[in-house]
Chains A and B, each alone.
Chain A
């Protein structure tokens, strides 16, 4: 196991652990306001300090991890659930009209500035975590479709696929039986990358008020709250910022570590 993998795995595990523990325990009630103790810098009682309402930031970060993870996780699920079958289908019909339509559709989605569309969707259909998930998830579909197709095409050129065709197997069965297991590593690595991008996107949407709504805590909204107070209470911006950076860093390191451990030649898309 490489150091990258261990460090990335540990950071990612830490965040997941924080989110899980928050269901049963947080140092303080994360919504409990206490004006007299507002804007405290990190100290023995409030490990990460308090915000402008005197809420305990450590507790808020723990509960906020739930939102980040849930949004990113479901968004990646949407991307895999729709993108992988589309990519497999396109690869099985390489050069045909199905392939053409799927890939042109992909290009078209890529042509939309993703964040703008996410903003549009959440603005029109209302700001909520669900809409944020859908908005982020839609843009995961072409990523997975493209990576799947890219990984599947060289597999389709291998002779064991021809052998399976000689054995009378159809394209669907070959895709499932022979292609998918051989691109699983690629998809796992890509999923960790999309997961980290999902966390960044959720933070951005929440920051502009279009993600999870109060009282659901979210790291992005904590940063929005911090903006006007950044000169007098920098910790309010630093704490959620570091939470995001460490989570994303951990996931990216995990992805790189997995890639090196599984197959250093994997070609993942990074945008």
Chain B
């Protein structure tokens, strides 16, 4: 009999159907991945197993965990089950821990609840040591805010496995983490599952993350399981069209037009950007943090350059400096010879030649303005708005695959992918010389991401775009850029032609990044590339 058996699970929340007829099994010691895009119901399936569904949920079907029918159990029995038989790890380590309690106390609480025979503090210290936080190095008296994101996720894992559960559920456990940390956390989870013979249910939107470590993969779409199977078989010969489309999108490649090398457009020379840290003493100069450290590079007209690095490496700071939003302490940033930063009042002649596309498709538009007003905001940079504004709006919307009629809509009437198209339209409308894509596809589902990448490649053909593409996602940068810069701790540690850097990285950090980045096995890649 399986450790976990979900049969014909249907779920609706306040009348909205979330899951339909979901069935799946997980055996003891088995690593099973549940994957799908947002709205596929994968997280709700996990919460249904925990019976931690939102208020107003109606469940139909059966969930049997280690011989217990959890859908029929009362709350007291469920409380005994949670933390003891089943543990759960959540996506957001920054908020998953109680900020006002020490990490030791939070781990010890699980032990105290379920294992009266053990000494909570001693056992907690052992568990923390197991997840890589030995109390000798990281005292149990630390508070969550004193730890890094990866360390916090280790604490969350320690809480989940403290009582040796039979099933561990990990809901996007690495999505909020950097790629190198992600690899370590994944290794830790799989190692713990193997050592304790736990079943591991791994929920992820990123197929590549689980391709190497899951024994079985379950693919979900719109609240239903569309395909399930052993990993190798599923990766090499996916049966369901959705699975095939998902694989294709995950590996989506675009072809960029050739470029003729010309004179540099953007020139970044020896740029240093310091931030003042909070004052520690009243009358002492506050210490500074060097976010960007002597960075130099050029972007030639028509060139597509990528910038990769992990969070905190200085990418965002560099972006704001290039856009002329913040001053730099030394060095210079010039666009065609003109400095981009011109003190308090922005120099419109430079500003109008640069535009930016941001990451968050929901946060990058003022929800109270209509599309026509939103995408014409850059016209503020012109001395007089163009007289053919209407045509320009229609043109920009058409160029990004929307219709001119969309100009009168509000942003909430568009999907995430469509909003990202709007953001590109806003950048294009003023016909800038340089566009900065700041994590512009990172928040999108893979299938939408593939469409946006196609759009960008298409626009390169049409408009001879020059852009700086900033991303933490190596696979995207690899296909959408000609040249790549690798940034670590404020410095550019390596730069060169994209393909050359990816196939033969010279700097050890680049090597680490590339090794840590999860990839789908080559077999599935070749299979789906038409």
A interface list, Cβ under 8 A from B: 158-160, 162-170, 177-178, 181-182
Question: Contact check: which of A164, A170, A181, A182 meets B377 at CB < 8 Å?
Answer: A164
> Which B positions have Cβ atoms within 8 angstroms of A?
323, 325, 345-346, 348, 351-352, 354-356, 358-360, 363-368, 374, 377-378, 380-381, 423, 426
Q: Least Cβ distance of A164 to chain B in Å?
A: 6
A168-B346, A178-B366 known; A163-B325 Cβ under 8 A: no
Interchain CB contact under 8 A, A163 and B377: yes
Closest to A164 in B: B377
Give CA–CA (A181, B346) in the complex, Å. Answer: 24
Docked pose: A77 CA to B97 CA in angstroms: 43
Query: Taking the nearest CB of chain B, how far is it from the CB of A180, in angstroms?
Result: 10
Is B426 touching A168 in the complex (CB atoms < 8 A)?
no
Are B346 and A163 touching (Cβ within 8 A)? no
Instruction: Report the minimum CB–CB distance from A175 to chain B (whole Å).
Output: 12
Chain A residues with CB under 8 Å of B365's CB are 160, 163
Query: A159 vs B377: C-alpha distance in the bound complex, in angstroms?
Result: 14
Judge whether A160 and B363 touch: CB under 8 Å. Answer: yes
If A167-B378, A168-B380 touch, whether A162 touches B426 (CB-CB below 8 Å) is no
User: Is A166 touching B351 in the complex (CB atoms < 8 A)?
Assistant: yes
Q: Cβ of B325 and Cβ of A181 under 8 Å apart?
A: no
**B363:A182 contact, CB within 8 angstroms:** no
Shortest Cβ distance from residue B266 to the other chain A in the assembled complex, whole angstroms: 15
- In the complex formed, the residue of A with least CB distance to B382 is A168
Distance (Å) between the CB of A242 and the closest chain B CB?
38
- Given A163-B356, A167-B378, A177-B366, 14 more A-B residue pairs with CB atoms under 8 Å apart are A158-B360, A158-B363, A158-B364, A159-B358, A159-B359, A160-B363, A160-B374, A162-B325, A163-B365, A166-B354, A167-B351, A167-B381, A168-B346, A168-B381
With A166-B355, A168-B346 known as contacts, the answer to whether A159 contacts B360 (CB < 8 A) is: yes
Q: Is the CB of A182 within 8 A of B323?
A: no
Q: Are A182 and B368 in contact (CB under 8 A)?
A: yes
Q: Which residues of B sit under 8 angstroms from A169, Cβ to Cβ?
A: 377, 380
A-B contact pairs, 30 of them (CB 8 A): A158-B360, A158-B364, A159-B359, A159-B360, A159-B363, A159-B364, A160-B363, A160-B366, A162-B325, A162-B364, A163-B358, A163-B377, A163-B423, A163-B426, A164-B377, A165-B325, A166-B323, A166-B325, A166-B351, A166-B356, A167-B351, A167-B380, A168-B346, A168-B351, A168-B352, A168-B381, A169-B377, A178-B366, A181-B366, A182-B366
Q: Quick one: which of B325, B351, B359, B377 has the most chain A CB within 10 A? A: B377
Output the nearest chain A residue to B374 by Cβ-Cβ distance. A160
B356 and A160 within 8 A (CB): no
Residues of A within 8 A of B363 (CB): 158-160
> When chains A and B are docked, how far (Å) is the Cα of A89 from the Cα of B325?
19
Pick from A162, A170, A177, A181 the residue with the most CB of B within 10 Å. A162
Closest residue of A by beta carbon distance from B351: A168
Q: A163-B426, A167-B381 are in contact. Are A182 and B355 (CB under 8 A)?
A: no
**Which residues of the other chain, A, contact B367 by a CB distance below 8 angstroms?**
182
For B376, the closest partner residue in chain A by CB is: A167
Asked if A163 and B364 make an inter-chain contact with CB atoms under 8 angstroms apart, the answer reads yes
Q: Give chain B nearest CB distance to A158 CB in angstroms.
A: 4
Question: A162 contacts which chain B residues (CB < 8 A)?
Answer: 325, 356, 358, 364
Q: How far is the CA of A182 from the CA of B369 in the complex (A)?
A: 10
Residues of A within 8 A of B368 (CB): 181-182
Residues from chain A with Cβ under 8 Å of B323 in the complex: 166
Distance A170 CA – B346 CA, assembled complex (angstroms): 8
Contacts of B346 in A (CB 8 A): 168
- Min CB distance B190 to A, Å, is 36
Alpha-carbon distance between A159 and B366 when the two chains are bound, in angstroms: 9
User: Closest Cβ of chain A: how far from B396's Cβ, in Å?
Assistant: 14
